[in-house]
Amino acid sequence: MAITTLHTVFLFLFFFILISLPPSSPVKLPFSKIFAFGDSYTDTGNTHSRTGPYSYGYVSNLPYGTTFFHHSTDRYSDGRLVIDFIATNLSLPFLSPYLRRNSDFSHGVNFAVAGSTALDHSFFVDNNITIAITPESLQTQLEWFAEYLEKSGCQGRSKQCHEKFEDALFWIGEIGANDYAYSFASSVSPNVVQDLVLKNVFKFLETLLSEGAKYIVVQGLPLTGCLPLAMVLSPPDDRDRLGCAATVNNQANKHNLILQSKIEQLRKQYPKAIISYADYFNAHRTIMNKPAVYGFTEPFKACCGSGGDPYNFDIFATCGSPEVTKACSVPSKFVNWDGVHLTEALYKVVADMFLHSGYCHPPFDVLLKHKLQGS
Ligand SMILES: *[C@@H]1O[C@H](CO)[C@@H](O)[C@H](O)[C@H]1NC(C)=O
Ligand SMILES: *[C@@H]1O[C@H](CO)[C@@H](O)[C@H](O)[C@H]1NC(C)=O
C-alpha cells in the first residue's frame, strides 16, 4: 500500500513536472535587466513624479508623446527615446521610472531624471547659480539605486547582488549638459565646472563598478551647440562648420575626450568589466552633416515651438505651454523636438548607430558576445 502510494506520488510529480515545462525552451535574453541613469534625454517619467518645479517646459501635456504613445508619458520628446529603442532591441519592455509607484521593475529600472546634473545640487547653491532649480544629481540617482537594491532584498555586497549585477546592462545616458547650461553665465569658469563634472562622472562609474556592474555603456554628450537653445543664447558669429554654436560644441567635444580617457582608466582598474563608450557626438555630427540621408529636412528648427524661422524657438513660449499646443505636422522630418530635446526619429537613428553601426567603442555586439559567453 505504502509503495503504491509512493508510486502514485512519483507519477503525479512526473506529470506535474511535464506539464509545468514550457512548450519550447525560451530564448535566453542577453540581459534580464537594464539600469539606466542620466537626464531628460533618458528619463522615461521620473520628472513627473518628483516634487518641485519641472525643469523644462510642459512635458505632461500633448504634443509631448504625440508620435508613438499618443499621450504624454513625461518623456521629453514626441515619442520614444534612445533607451526605449535599446530596451526593445534587447527584447525587454520599456523601463519604468523609479519614482512611479507600483511599477514593475522586473526588467530593470530607469533612474534618469530631467534636469539632473553631474554635480551635487549644493555646488549650484554655493555659487549662487539660481537657475539650477532641479535638485537631482548623479548622487541622487545612486541613492535611489541603493534604495531600490535594499527594497529588492539585496543588502550590502552579497553574492546574490553581484549575480544580479552580472545579468544587468548599465546604461549611462547623457549627463553633464545641464551642469554646463546652468553655469553658462555664472562666475565659475567653464574649465573649473568641466573638471568637477568629469570627476563626478568618474566617481559615479567607479561606484557602480566597485559594486559589481560588469556591462556598462556610457554615452557622451551630443552636439549641444546645435540645439536651438544654444543657438539663440550664443552670439551669432560664434559658429562652427556645421553652423552651430562653436563654443558650446567645443565644450561638449572636450567633455567627451576627457570622459573617454577616464573610461580607459576604469578599464584598467576593472579589467573584467566591459565599458563601452557610446559616441553620441559623432553620431549626431554624421546626421547633421547629411540630414537628408536620414530623412531630415529640418536640422535646426524645433518641431514644437514658437517664433518661426530660423529656430522656431522662444524661451518664453515653449512646447506644451498654453501658447504652443501644436507641433509640426511631420515630426520625423525634424531633428529637434522642442528646442532642447530631439525627436523620436532622431533618437531612433542614433540608437541604430549605437547598436549596429559601430558608434559604440567597443561595439555593442562585442559587449553582447562577452555577455553571452560569460554567463
Ligand atoms: C537587435 O540588433 C541586432 C543587431 O545588432 C539585430 O540582429 C537584432 O535582430 C535586433 N533585435 C531586435 C529584437 O530588434
Ligand atoms: C552669493 O551671494 C551672497 C549674497 O548675495 C554673497 O554674500 C556671496 O558672496 C555669493 N557667493 C558667491 C560664491 O558668489
Give the C-alpha separation, 154 to 141, whole Å: 17
Strands 274-278 and 360-361, sheet pairing: antiparallel
Instruction: Sheet with 108-110: list strands edge to edge.
Output: 96-97, 108-110, 33-37, 168-172, 215-219, 274-278, 360-361
Task: Output the pLDDT for position 156.
Answer: 63
Upstream peptide bond of 97 is cis (omega within 30 degrees of 0) = no
Task: Output the pLDDT for position 158.
Answer: 67
pTM of the model: 0.90
Give the C-alpha separation, 363 to 343, whole Å: 24
Q: Is 127 in the pocket of ligand 2 (CB under 6 A)?
A: yes
Q: Which ligand 2 atom sits nearest the alpha carbon of residue 187?
A: 14
Average pLDDT in the 348-354 region?
98
Q: Tell me how far the alpha carbon of residue 110 lies from the centroid of ligand 1, in angstroms.
A: 22
Residue type, 346: L
What three-state secondary structure class fits 276? strand
Q: Is 186 in the pocket of ligand 2 (CB under 6 A)?
A: no
List Cα–Cα distances, 99 to 75, 112, 144, 354, in angstroms: 14, 10, 9, 28
Task: Output the pLDDT for position 151.
Answer: 87
Q: Does 279 or 52 have the greater pLDDT score?
A: 279
Task: Output the pLDDT for position 307.
Answer: 96
Annotated catalytic residue within 40, 96, 183, 276 = 40
Q: Tell me how far the alpha carbon of residue 230 lies from the centroid of ligand 2, in angstroms.
A: 27
Q: What is the largest CA-CA distance in the chain?
A: 96
In this predicted model, what pLDDT tens digit does every residue of 199-249 receive, in sequence order?
999 999 999 999 999 999 999 999 999 999 999 999 999 999 999 999 999
Which contiguous run of DSSP H or E holds residue 368? helix 364-374
Task: Output the pLDDT for position 28.
Answer: 78
**Ligand located closest to 87 CA:** 1
Using only the alpha carbons of the chain, give its radius of gyration.
23
Task: Output the pLDDT for position 10.
Answer: 45
Task: Output the pLDDT for position 154.
Answer: 79
Atom 1 of ligand 2, residue of closest alpha carbon: 128
Atom 7 of ligand 2, residue of closest alpha carbon: 128
**CA nearest to 224, candidates 182, 290, 294, 177:** 177
Average pLDDT in the 255-283 region?
98
Place of cell 553620441: 280
Task: Output the pLDDT for position 57.
Answer: 63
Q: Let me know if 341 is a catalytic residue.
A: yes
Give the C-alpha separation, 74 to 93, whole Å: 17
Strands 298-302 and 168-172, sheet pairing: unpaired
Give the C-alpha separation, 42 to 371, whole Å: 23
> Lowest-confidence range among 47-56, 92-101, 135-144, 306-315?
47-56
Atom 13 of ligand 2, residue of closest alpha carbon: 127
Q: Which ligand 1 atom sits nearest the alpha carbon of residue 355?
A: 5
Task: Output the pLDDT for position 152.
Answer: 85
Give the C-alpha separation, 43 to 36, whole Å: 9
Atom 12 of ligand 2, residue of closest alpha carbon: 127
What domains can you pick out in the chain, each with its CATH number? Answer: 31-282+348-374 (3.40.50)
Please, are residues 56 and 40 in contact by the beta-carbon 8 Å criterion?
A: yes
In this predicted model, what pLDDT tens digit does every residue of 98-150 receive, in sequence order?
999 889 999 999 999 999 999 999 999 999 999 888 899 999 999 999 999 98
**Ligand located closest to 358 CA:** 1
**CA nearest to 337, candidates 309, 289, 296, 304:** 304
Q: Let me know if 338 is a catalytic residue.
A: yes
Task: Output the pLDDT for position 328.
Answer: 98
Q: Let me know if 40 is a catalytic residue.
A: yes
Which contiguous run of DSSP H or E holds residue 5? helix 2-20
Task: Output the pLDDT for position 50.
Answer: 57
Annotated catalytic residue within 39, 43, 84, 338 = 338
Supply the DSSP string of 129-143, one letter for each residue: -TT-----BHHHHHH
Q: Is 247 in the pocket of ligand 2 (CB under 6 A)?
A: no
Supply the DSSP string of 217-239, one letter for each residue: EEE----GGGSHHHHHHS-TT-B
